[in-house]
Amino acid sequence: MSDLDAKSLPTLCVVLKGYPRLSETFIAQEIRELERNGFNIQIVSLRHPYDPATHPIHDEITAEVLYLPEYLHWQPVRVLKALLLCLTRGKFWPAAVQFVKDFSRDRTRSRLRRFGQGCVMATEVSSNARFFYAHFMHTPASVTQYASLLTSIPWSISAHAKDIWTIPDWEKREKLQSIEWLVTCTRSNFEHLSELTKGDRSPRAFAQIENTVNLVYHGIDLSRFDNPPDRSNNSDGSTETLTVTLLSVGRTVAKKGYSYLLNSLANLPAHLHWRFIHIGGGELTDELQDLASSLGIEQSITWMGGQPQSVVLNALQNADLFVLPSIIGEDGDRDGLPNVLMEAQSQKLACLSTNISGIPELIDHGKNGWLVEERNVDQLTEALMLLIGDSRLRENLANRGFENLHENFSHTNCLSRLQNLLEASVK
C-alpha cells in the first residue's frame, strides 16, 4: 500500500503521555501489532521523548507522531491559533462547559494545560481521524475527552494502574459516561471501574454504560523473546562460585518497593552469596543508592539505569531469580500487572513479587512463582533465603510460570478482543 493510500484510510488516533518510552514496551507492542493487522494509526503524544534510548520495536512502528505542546507557554501562538479555530467551528462550548466543571473541582495548571492540549489535538489530528484511543485514564484521557467534545469524534480508554488509583472517583465516573468503552488489564481494576458505573443514576443511563468496562490482559509477544536458557544449575549461594544473581527491572519510584527489598537484602545472612542487578531509571535512584550504602550492601549491587530491550533480555537470561517487591503507594499508586514479570517468565526465570493488584492473576503462589505481603521485610527476607538456597525450587517455579504464560498470556490471544472493539469503532 502506498503512503498516499494509507493517508486516505480511516485513522485511529492513539493518545499517549509520552512516546517513545522505555518503560512502556507493552504499548509499543500493541501499536505495532495493530499496524500489522491493518490499522492506520496516528500517535498523539503529550510529551516529547526523554529516555536516552529506544527499543527495537519502536523502529518498526510506522505511525506518524503528533507532539502536542508540553507546556502551553512554550508554544503560545500554536495554542492561540487552535483556540480560535475551535471557537469558529461551533463545537467549542460543550468542551468549555466540561472544562469549567472540571476546573471548579481541580484548580490546577495541569487542568488548564490539558484543555489547551485538547484544543491543539482537535485542530491538528489527521483529517481522517475516526476514533480516539487514550492510554491511561488520567492526563491523556482528559486531553482526549476535550478533543472528542471539540470534534464529535468518539473515544475510548485503556486504563492501567496509577491512572486509575490516583484520580478522584468523580473524574472516573464522568469519563466512563463519556466514552464508547474502556479496557483494563487486571481483574481488580475491572471490578473497581465496573462498580463506578453503578452510581446513583437512572436505569436508562446505567443501561447505556453497564457494558463499558472490559478486562483485557496485555500479554506479551512471545515471538520477540529468545528461547529461554537452560536453568538446571545448582547455584545456591553457599559459596562464591555458586553466587545467585538477583535481578529487578523497574523505575525507581515508590510503588516498586525497592527500599523494602534493600532492607531485606541487608538482612540476609553474611555467609549467603548473592548479587543484585537493577535496571531502570527514576527519581529515587540516588536515594536508593544512598540507602544501599548505609546498609553496607552497595558492593553487591549493580545499578544499570534505563536500558534497551536487548540489554534487559540478556540480563533476564543470565539471572537466577527475578524480584519485584511492588507496593501500594501512600497516594494509591500501584502496579497493575507488570509486563516485566511476564518477560521474566518468558525466559524461565523464577519470580518473587507481592500479592497486590493484578500480580496474583499471573503468579499463583508456590506453584508458578512466589508471593509475599507488600512492605513485609521479614517475609521478603525469608522468601529470598528460601529461593536463593534452593535451585530446584526456582527451576520448578520457572517451568510452571513459563507454561502458564504460554497458555494464558500470549499477546496474540489477549489482543484479539481489543482489536474487535477497535474494528467496530474505527469505521
CATH topology of domain 3-219+411-425: Rossmann fold (3.40.50)
Q: How far apart are CA 217 and CA 231, in angstroms?
A: 28
Query: Residue 129's closest CA among 13, 4, 252?
Result: 13
Can you give the pTM of this predicted structure? 0.82
C-alpha cell, 73: 507557554
What is residue 75's three-state secondary structure?
Answer: coil
| Regions of the chain with pLDDT less than 50 | 1-2, 4, 200-209
pLDDT value for 199: 60
Tens digits of per-residue pLDDT, 363-401?
Answer: 999 999 999 999 999 999 999 999 999 999 999 999 999
Q: What are phi and psi of 362, to 5 degrees?
A: -100, -45
**In sequence order, what are the residues at sequence separation of 6 or more whose Cβ sits closer than 8 angstroms to the Cβ of residue 284?**
252, 253, 254, 258
Domain residue limits, the chain: 3-219+411-425, 222-408
Query: Residue 211's closest CA among 193, 231, 238, 229?
Result: 193
Amino acid at 343: E
The architecture of the domain spanning 222-408 is 3-Layer(aba) Sandwich (3.40)
Q: Examine domains 3-219+411-425 and 222-408 and report if their fold is the same.
A: yes
CA dihedral 132, 136, 141, 147 (to 10 degrees): -40
Query: Residue 213's closest CA among 250, 253, 186?
Result: 186
pLDDT value for 252: 97
Longest dimension (CA), the chain: 75
Please state, in angstroms and as integers, the Cα–Cα distance from residue 33 to each residue in 223, 329, 360, 394, 411, following that order.
Answer: 12, 33, 27, 33, 9
Give me the residues paired with residue 134 across strands: 15, 157
Tens digits of per-residue pLDDT, 187-204?
Answer: 989 999 999 987 644 443
